[in-house]
Amino acid sequence: MAELDKAVLSQMENIKKKTGKTLPELEGLIKQSGASKHGDIRQMLMDTLGLGHGDANTLTHFIRKTDGTSAALDKTLEEVLAEIYSGPKSSQRPIYEALMTGIQQFGPFDIIPKKGYISLKRKKQFAMLGPKTNTRFELGINGLGLPEDPRLQVQAKGCMCTYIVSLTDADEVDSTIISWVRHAYELAGGV
């Protein structure tokens, strides 16, 4: 289940072409540099290899396995969910289950486990689900044109999601919330 996001794989392939180095060679370069902090590694990659900020940042996360995708690599969806909903956050798993029960009725989509949340994607990501704190769950929705509602928190331009819905109980998952996610699902195009 936990495979690298196609966009990350594509970016890694482009970085290998730009630098003429394999991923093990890039990892070796990072180790040889002696840099240990994320920002220092990123800057070294930019200075040494001429990578742009985005490529250097993604490569740093990828090699250090600090991005959400790499942290979930080689784990099943159930293993990732068990990690996400462990300890004080275990009480939020019913919220995830209630949302997924409604969302799975829409049709095909990819479930991409990340560290700390689950990304739902067709051609592009349409929702993110996961606990924000020990007592608050966040549903991120990527879609424009939803009606005003006090539960919909509009996010700043450039954020990972257009809207956030904060939830504290599975009973809050209603047909309106599911319709908002369906709208985003439809906007995200086919798988």
CB-facing half-sphere around the CA of 25: CA atoms within 13 A:
9
**17 and 94 share one domain:** no
Q: What is the pLDDT of residue 28?
A: 92
Across the beta sheet with 118-121, the strand order is: 110-113, 118-121, 125-131, 137-141, 163-167, 153-154
What is residue 6's predicted lDDT score, i.e. its pLDDT?
A: 67
Is there a single domain that holds both residue 110 and residue 19?
A: no
Would you say residue 144 has pLDDT above 50? yes
Same structural domain, 55 and 24: yes
Instruction: Indicate the number of domains in the chain.
Output: 2
Alpha-carbon torsion 103, 105, 107, 112, what sign?
Answer: positive
User: Which of 72, 95, 129 finishes a domain?
Assistant: 72
Rounded mean pLDDT of the chain? 88
pLDDT at 115: 78
67 pLDDT exceeds 50?
yes
Q: How far apart are CA 6 and CA 1, in angstroms?
A: 13
Q: How many angstroms separate the CA atoms of 84 and 105, rounded?
A: 24
Residues 88-116 have a mean pLDDT of: 94
- Average pLDDT of span 138-155: 94
Look at the pTM and tell me if it is higher than 0.75.
no
Indicate if the pLDDT at residue 162 is higher than 80: yes
Q: Are residues 109 and 176 in the same domain?
A: yes
- 52 with 143, same domain: the answer is no
Q: Are 46 and 56 in contact (CB under 8 A)?
A: yes
Over residues 46-63, mean pLDDT: 85
Residue where a domain stops, chosen among 32, 52, 72: 72
Do residues 85 and 162 both lie within one domain? yes
| Percent of the chain residues past pLDDT 70, beyond the cut | 90
Find the domain containing 92 and state its range: 77-187
Task: Note the Cα 102 to chain centre separation in Å.
Answer: 20
